[in-house]
Structure 1
Amino acid sequence: METDSGTSSTDGKALFPLYTITFIGTLGFGIILTFLVFLVTEYGGNALVYGILASTYPAFQLIGAPILGRWSDLYGRKKILLLSQAGTLLAWVIFLVALFFPVIPLIEVRSDLLGIFTVTLPLLALFFARALDGITGGNVSVANAYLADLTSEEERNKNYGRMSVASNLGYVFGPALAGLLGATVYGELLPVSVALVISIIGTLIVLFLLPDSKPCEIEEYSESTGIRKVLGQEQKECYKIEAGSKITFGEVFKLEYIPFMLIVYFLIFLGFNIYYTAFPVFAVVALEWSPAELGVYFSVISALMAFVQGPVLAKLAKRYRESILVVVGGFILGLQFILIISGNIFLLYLAAVFFAFGNGIMWPSILSILSKFAGKKYQGSVQGFAMSASSLASIIGLLAGGLLYTQLGVISFLIAAAIIYLVVFLSFRLVKIEKERLAETAVAEI
């Protein structure tokens, strides 16, 4: 039998590279998010082109994430993380090269419905770069499966919280770094170059610092003994992997509770992306915020969320079940969508606090519950399909958010709130499921 060091003790040194990779990934995304709209405009695009370009990444991630997740179950997490990082690195190379392309018009569009825009050579290269990054963008789902491999169920919520902290810190520093570097005489060239260097560092971390994680193989299941559990040496769940084995979309939906969790996943991302598209328009048009004011607002949310998902979540996770945290967090999160409608600056920043606290305790709990339902055998595959569900919701939300705000104004935030409260309603089923599983565990230990 292949031994495994993935116990609860691995949440220190072994998981630190994983947290670093997550931070680097969101740091790069935070950098590009700050100036991408200006590049699109400079190269001939308009708001519609920007929306389509923003949805290109999740559209291709929808295709690639389940494939990479399934491969990680078969060939090991590290190899697939390395493949994903290499794809991101190559995408940044293409992105950087595109800045040197001449602005050659390829297609001109003049439409009352679509507006006026021109597809140019560098703009086409940007689309290709985002598509490549998306198709190899299964790093989040693989990283989630990797964390599940190395941590016990008791510590999983806390460690997912730490990973979310690393992610949010990337969103805090990324826009600030982009603003600082973009203000130089080199314009967008310097922040893109820095993002490329950051991607190289991430690839090297995966290659040299991240230990491999692959399901072990045995002929029969081993039964845990009471003394092993007490001493922290409980046998990892192992199983035999047949060559070329894979799980299909239909088989995922036959796994207990997984279809329900994928629906929850989809709805959460749908609500978020409607907000993420509509709020910047609301801030610029209705509130007349500058890019700096908008950047400060999002940085405040990310910084608060990093605090919540660190020490706050660690304490709450010890006292309350994950399903309870999902319900309470979702309820608080929905309130923030309602508070921002007034446009009052005090209520806006109160909404930021609600956003950070609600999402900060809800999302890591959702990730932990999904990983437990997936089990060891199909961890990577299920995480990949979950990423596909989020990608599909991101595509719909990004395209619908701007349209909803254009047609309905601030009512679009109420729609986002309604979606989140639907998640809260559905999450009461998680409370029931968790009670049943705890009861079954108690009976089995007697």
Structure 2
Amino acid sequence: MNRIKGSIFFSVFVAMLGLMLIAPIMPPLIRELGLRESHSGLIISLGSITMALMAPVWGNLSDAKGRKPVILLGFIGMCVSCLLFTLTLFGGLHGWLNGGLLLVLLIVTRGLIGGFIPAVLSSSQAYMGDVTEGEERGSGMAIISAANGLGLVFGPAIAGAFTLIGLLWPLYFGIVIAAVAFVVSLLAIPAAKPVIQQKPARINPFQPGLRIYLLAGLVTMISIVTIQVIGGFYFQDQLDLTSEETARVVSFGLMFSGAAMLIVQIIQMKWLKWQPKPMILLGSLFLITGMGLFLISTSLAVYYAAFFMFGIGTGLLMPGFMAGASLSVSKEQQGGAAGLVAAVQGISAIIAPILTTTLYRVDKYIPFVLIAVLVAAMAIMMLGVRKGKGMISYKEFQENQQEVE
């Protein structure tokens, strides 16, 4: 992994880490502040909305102004907004802020965090698109996906470790790591000219080629968020566990998923170097298998196997839809496409918690069945994609690059 790819990996990892540090500490903080449980969901959901809205904006801005300036701005924004969010919580815990004013300030500052994180995510993915070409794009996006996966796994783990010192310590760490990432990006990421020299290239999420990969991304991220949201409830109900036992089971399960994702993505980067379509199709098969194992068994060992299958599936799907989206647009649209991919992540964080917890109240098996059906439908649509109807060949990609240059 060269310097550019390594710094991109670190940037994405820190951005996802910053996002995931908050979720585990919100429930106890909300109770300490005297707010209602529903307020926690409101604060996190509105942060996801700003993430979804701002991701395309940052992506297009990176096309026009350059990747590095937007990444640096993203880390500055993360650092400052996380500091403001922490100060608001500190004021609430010490009785300086309360009631409606406290809630509004928490929503605004959390929204700022959600608004700046996609500056890093979308610009980093677009930069990876700049430095890799068709046959290397899948392995390049596997680096992005590995950083995403590690952030998703280690964020809650690091937050849990720091809460042994105090509830706000995960946020102190988030401020420091964002500042460190700014310095690393400043020194390690080479400056590059904006890819757009005149009028920004328009990008439509429904344009042929791009839409199928955005759909694959939405389904994949809904699957990941669903497991994170309802997994604990399901395993506690199925295995009759205590709260402490449930936390351990879910933690180990997510570790198995994270390990599987990392293994698959290393294999993809080093040896397979598959194109997007086969990655998505094989990943779908593994993910559906994981959902089936969750549904048919009440054995802890089988559940861990299901987590591992789920990790293999998402480990193939994530670089698959990222690389597919990148290859389906021109060089001038890399930032726009990366912004839409980041927006899909934010949209999934809005849809999945509300939808799957509602369905879980109806029947605990429905969310897993829904994921399997959505993934199967997406895979069938991917099977129907032919040249000229949703994908461009590597030769066509090279021709596009030559036209731009």
TM-score interval, smaller chain = 0.7 to 0.9
The answer to whether the Cα contact below 8 Å between 2:14 and 2:178 also exists between their aligned partners in 1 is: yes
What is the RMSD computed on CA atoms of the aligned residues?
A: 2.8
Identity, % of aligned positions = 23
Tell me which residue corresponds to 1:233: none
Tell me which residue corresponds to 1:294: 250
Normalising to structure 1: TM-score of the pair? Answer: 0.80
> Quick one: which of 216, 229, 252 aligns to 1:264?
216
Residue correspondence of structure 1 range 336-351 to structure 2 within 5 A: 336-341=290-295, 342-351=297-306
> Quick one: which of 23, 28, 38 aligns to 2:18?
28
Tell me which residue corresponds to 2:270: 314
Tell me which residue corresponds to 2:136: 155
- The 3-state SS of whatever aligns with 1:211 is coil
| Offset from partner CA, 1:257-280 (integer Å, 9 cap, x none) | 223333333333333333332223
Structure 2 CA distance for partners of 1:406 and 1:49, relative to 1, 3 Å: farther
- The 3-state SS of whatever aligns with 2:90 is coil
Tell me which residue corresponds to 1:192: 171
Could you tell me which runs of 5 or more consecutive residues in structure 2 were left unpaired when the two chains were aligned.
401-405
In the alignment, residue 189 of structure 2 is paired with which amino acid? L
> Quick one: which of 280, 283, 291 aligns to 1:329?
283
Normalized per residue, the structure richer in helix is 2
Structure 2 CA distance for partners of 1:31 and 1:263, relative to 1, 3 Å: closer
Superposed displacement of residue 316, structure 1 = 2.5
The answer to whether the Cα contact below 8 Å between 1:270 and 1:393 also exists between their aligned partners in 2 is: yes
Structure 2 CA distance for partners of 1:297 and 1:167, relative to 1, 3 Å: same
In the alignment, residue 383 of structure 2 is paired with which amino acid? F
> Quick one: which of 299, 306, 317 aligns to 1:362?
317
The answer to whether the Cα contact below 8 Å between 1:55 and 1:399 also exists between their aligned partners in 2 is: no
The answer to whether the Cα contact below 8 Å between 2:33 and 2:92 also exists between their aligned partners in 1 is: no
Residue correspondence of structure 1 range 397-416 to structure 2 within 5 A: 397-416=352-371
Structure 2 CA distance for partners of 1:440 and 1:56, relative to 1, 3 Å: closer
User: In the aligned structure 1, how far is the partner of 2:193 from the partner of 2:361?
Assistant: 48
User: In the aligned structure 2, how far is the partner of 1:327 from the partner of 1:127?
Assistant: 39
In the alignment, residue 22 of structure 1 is paired with which amino acid? V
The answer to whether the Cα contact below 8 Å between 2:257 and 2:311 also exists between their aligned partners in 1 is: yes
Normalising to structure 2: TM-score of the pair? Answer: 0.87
The answer to whether the Cα contact below 8 Å between 1:54 and 1:398 also exists between their aligned partners in 2 is: no
User: In the aligned structure 2, how far is the partner of 1:171 from the partner of 1:102?
Assistant: 28
Superposed displacement of residue 149, structure 1 = 0.6
User: In the aligned structure 1, how far is the partner of 2:312 from the partner of 2:24?
Assistant: 24
1:208 partnered with 2:187: yes
In the alignment, residue 294 of structure 1 is paired with which amino acid? V
Structure 2 CA distance for partners of 1:379 and 1:31, relative to 1, 3 Å: same
1:60 partnered with 2:39: no
The answer to whether the Cα contact below 8 Å between 1:165 and 1:307 also exists between their aligned partners in 2 is: no
Larger radius of gyration: 1
| Offset from partner CA, 1:383-417 (integer Å, 9 cap, x none) | 21232233223311122121111222222211111
- Decide which moves more: 119-128 or 321-330: 119-128
User: In the aligned structure 2, how far is the partner of 1:338 from the partner of 1:151?
Assistant: 36
> Quick one: which of 74, 78, 91 aligns to 2:81?
91
Could you tell me which runs of 5 or more consecutive residues in structure 1 were left unpaired when the two chains were aligned.
1-10, 108-118, 217-239
User: In the aligned structure 1, how far is the partner of 2:312 from the partner of 2:386?
Assistant: 20
Superposed displacement of residue 89, structure 1 = 0.8
Structure 2 CA distance for partners of 1:407 and 1:83, relative to 1, 3 Å: same
In the alignment, residue 72 of structure 2 is paired with which amino acid? L
In the alignment, residue 336 of structure 1 is paired with which amino acid? G
How many residue pairs were aligned?
A: 392
Structure 2 CA distance for partners of 1:278 and 1:258, relative to 1, 3 Å: same
Tell me which residue corresponds to 1:173: 154
In the alignment, residue 208 of structure 1 is paired with which amino acid? L
Tell me which residue corresponds to 1:274: 226
User: In the aligned structure 2, how far is the partner of 1:55 from the partner of 1:314?
Assistant: 37
The answer to whether the Cα contact below 8 Å between 1:58 and 1:391 also exists between their aligned partners in 2 is: yes
1:131 partnered with 2:111: yes
User: In the aligned structure 2, how far is the partner of 1:190 from the partner of 1:312?
Assistant: 36
In the alignment, residue 258 of structure 2 is paired with which amino acid? S
